[in-house]
Amino acid sequence: MGASPIGTVATPLDQLLAHLVFTPFLRDSRTSPLALSAQPIQRGKSLHEQAYEALRISILSGELAPGDRLIETQLAQGLQVSRTPLREALRQLQREGLVTADISGGLRVTTISADDAIQLYDCRLALEQLSVAEACQNASDAQLQHLADFVTQAEALGKVRTAKPDNLQLLDLDYQFHHLIAESAGNQRLVSLLEQVFDAMSLLRIQTLCHNPNVLDIRLEHRQIYEAIAQRDVATATAAIKTHLISSKARVVAEIQSIHQPHPASRAAKPTE
């Protein structure tokens, strides 16, 4: 199917982007990959940019799950774009690490391995200790209040006794808390580096949360980090973020290893050589 011109009629790209709106945690689309804007896409954007944006949102929201195969003909038909801008979008997603090529040469949404998770957390440990140290010195009163709000909202979610916890909202609060600390540091290069890691972490968290919602246990640890930053206590804040990330790393790596470990029944059914 050929590409549809961008005009006054809503395109499939418009419809997809409008569909992928998570209203329970819509707050700041500038900083959170999960806080999606309800505003229509800009008409001045090229088809490549629109296809890239639609696919990236689908991946980071979990609409396209880790390991999902990306078939050009189906994607082009669904988005009603030609394969040329679609391929440009997919190449950009590959450069960002959100899409990878499998052994057959096909493209899939990236699946994070235990080794990948360890490397991501090691990067975060190095970057976020610097982040909290500089936030202790540079965070404004308004930024401290926003951090407190994120902690309070996460604690409130933990008190709600529902059959199905709002994992995506908790995930969004976790992202916004850590991103705001980086912003509070006043170091834009640090923010840019962390954003690359956070994108990969979104894949990781989506991959693990569906198997074990308790893997994102952030409430107490976030309060300890916030209180140390609010008191401008660099030593306590860096120790708190280190403890938090090491604990989170252990939980997430164990969960990934559990996901990839063959089920005992399947191992028993496997014929012996």
63: pLDDT confidence band, cut at 50, 70 and 90? Answer: confident
The angle at the Cα of 212, spanning 206 to 218, to the nearest 5 degrees, equals 80
User: pTM of whole model > 0.85?
Assistant: no
Top pLDDT among 39 and 63 is at 63
Domains of the chain (ranges, CATH numbers): 12-109 (1.10.10.10), 114-257 (1.20.120.530)
pLDDT of residue 12 exceeding 70, the answer is no
User: Does residue 46 register a pLDDT over 60?
Assistant: yes
For residue range 91-119, what is the model confidence (pLDDT) as tens digits? 999 998 889 998 888 999 988 889 999 99
- When pLDDT is cut at 50, 70 and 90, the band that residue 59 belongs to is confident
Residue 60's pLDDT band, with cuts at 50, 70 and 90, is confident
| pLDDT surpasses 50 at 152 | yes
Q: How many CA atoms lie within 13 A of 182 on its CB side?
A: 24
Per residue in 216-243, pLDDT tens? 667 788 999 999 999 999 999 999 999 9
Quote the pLDDT of residue 231. 98
Nearest to 171 by CA among 257, 248, 265: 248
Per the listing, tokens 């956070």 go with 198
Top-confidence residue, 263 or 142: 142
Helix and strand totals (H; E) in the chain: 11, 3
CB 203 within 8 A of CB 110: yes
pLDDT at 183 over 90: yes
State the pLDDT confidence band at 163, using cuts at 50, 70 and 90.
Answer: very low
pLDDT at residue 9 greater than cutoff 90: no
Tokens representing residue 57 in the block: 């949102």
Could you give the maximum distance between any two Cα atoms of the chain, in Å? Answer: 66
- Angle (CA) 52-57-61 rounded to 5° is 155
Q: Is the pLDDT of residue 160 over 70?
A: no
Cβ neighbours, 10 Å, residue 85: 19
* Confidence at residue 6, expressed as pLDDT on a 0 to 100 scale: 35
pLDDT tens for residues 109-145? 988 889 999 999 999 999 999 999 999 999 999 999 9
